[in-house]
Structure 1
Amino acid sequence: MALYIYLLLLLFADWSPPQTPFYKANFNGALFHEINKAGIGVVIRDSAGLVIGALSKNISLPPSAIEVEALACQRAIIFARELGLREVVFEGDFETLIKSLNSESISFSRFGHMVDDSCATASSLRSYFFSHVRRD
């Protein structure tokens, strides 16, 4: 429960609504080295700010912070599809990941396969884009 509350607090920081007809899926990941776990969280809201869906999940500790963020992004995309959404802004706070997701070129980084999978999954949506949000 503490993980869920922590991730929700991060996801609600400095939120701005998407333009209609878009939904916004905020995603985040957190590392908990002391228990050898990580957590991912997703909150999806409409343009009025109403929560359409939320989830959090404990996962095995990935090798790096960017990989937990990439997993959170993948889960956000899948969750949006499960909810039947077709126009979605995916917003995260890891700038390197967002730049890779928005890049036209193939990523050869350690997490490149995750970026490619996310983009392939998102391509089934009518319209989507990835947005970076700065969190303090």
Structure 2
Amino acid sequence: MARMLWTRRNMMLFEDYFVAPSILMQKAKQACTEFQQMQHKQCTSRSHGNLDQIDNALWLPPELDWIKINWDIATKEIGQRIGVGIAVRDSEGDLLVSCMQPLSFCTQATMAEARGLISAMKLCKELGLQKVVFEGDSLQFVNAVRHHLQENGLLQCLVQDVYSIMANTRWEIRHVRRKANQVAH
């Protein structure tokens, strides 16, 4: 439901398109049914040893005592604006915090994803979280962070910012498919 409210808000803000609340509720019920069906498939796949096929396509909870933060961005080239969506969930899969942050002057996808992760990490620090898994659907940026990008330029500066912000915190970063990251979009 939170994702649908986020999408509805973006459509109103960026596309001047209004979605009636009744349509939103109908879509929420459909999404809930689909989620339950996917959870059933996931349990069935796990019991049959097919976990590798779904690992990266569905959201999976973090280990006990860890928190998972998904982040994603939406861009609008006109006006050079982006919206950062962040969802914080615990090892039970319960949503602890979700937020949206509008940012300006950044429409290049990788840079926008970098700024989105930095926003998520700042939120992590504000909340005092100590064991955190960050998931995003930008393979290029996730790999840049994981491999300590060594090229000169703005992206390297943003990667260094990531490591500075998360000093003294246990954290990991993972790439997931867009479908597994929908809660943040």
TM-score scaled by length of structure 1: 0.85
Residue 135 (structure 1) shift: 1.2
CA contact (8 A) 2:72 2:113 kept: yes
Give 1:128's match in structure 2, choosing from 171, 175, 181: 171
CA RMSD of aligned residues (A): 2.5
Give 2:141's match in structure 1, choosing from 97, 108, 117: 97
Give 1:69's match in structure 2, choosing from 68, 92, 113: 113
Residue 61 (structure 1) shift: 3.3
Give 1:49's match in structure 2, choosing from 93, 96, 99: 93
List per-residue Cα deviations over 1:26-83 (Å, max 9, x = no partner): 0111111244311111111000011111110111131511111001100111101111
AA partner of residue 6 (structure 2): I
| 1:37 and 2:81 aligned | yes
CA contact (8 A) 1:23 1:45 kept: yes
Q: Structure 2 unaligned segments of length 5 or more: list them.
A: 10-56, 180-185
Write 1 or 2 for the structure with the bigger share of helix: 2
Residue 106 (structure 1) shift: 2.9
Structure 2 residue aligned with 1:78:
122
Following the alignment from structure 1 to structure 2, what is the Cα–Cα distance between the partners of residues 80 and 103? 22
Residue 110 (structure 1) shift: 3.5
Following the alignment from structure 1 to structure 2, what is the Cα–Cα distance between the partners of residues 77 and 41? 12
Residue 107 (structure 1) shift: 4.0
Greater radius of gyration (CA): 2
Structure 1 residue aligned with 2:161:
117
Identical residues among aligned pairs (%): 26
Instruction: Report how many residues are paired.
Output: 131
Q: Structure 1 unaligned segments of length 5 or more: list them.
A: 8-12
Following the alignment from structure 1 to structure 2, what is the Cα–Cα distance between the partners of residues 105 and 78? 20
CA contact (8 A) 2:86 2:98 kept: yes
AA partner of residue 66 (structure 1): T
Give the direction of change, closer, same or farther, for the CA distance of 1:111–1:63 in structure 2 (3 Å limit): farther
CA contact (8 A) 2:88 2:95 kept: yes
AA partner of residue 82 (structure 2): A
Write 1 or 2 for the structure with the bigger share of strand: 1
TM-score scaled by length of structure 2: 0.63
CA contact (8 A) 2:80 2:106 kept: no
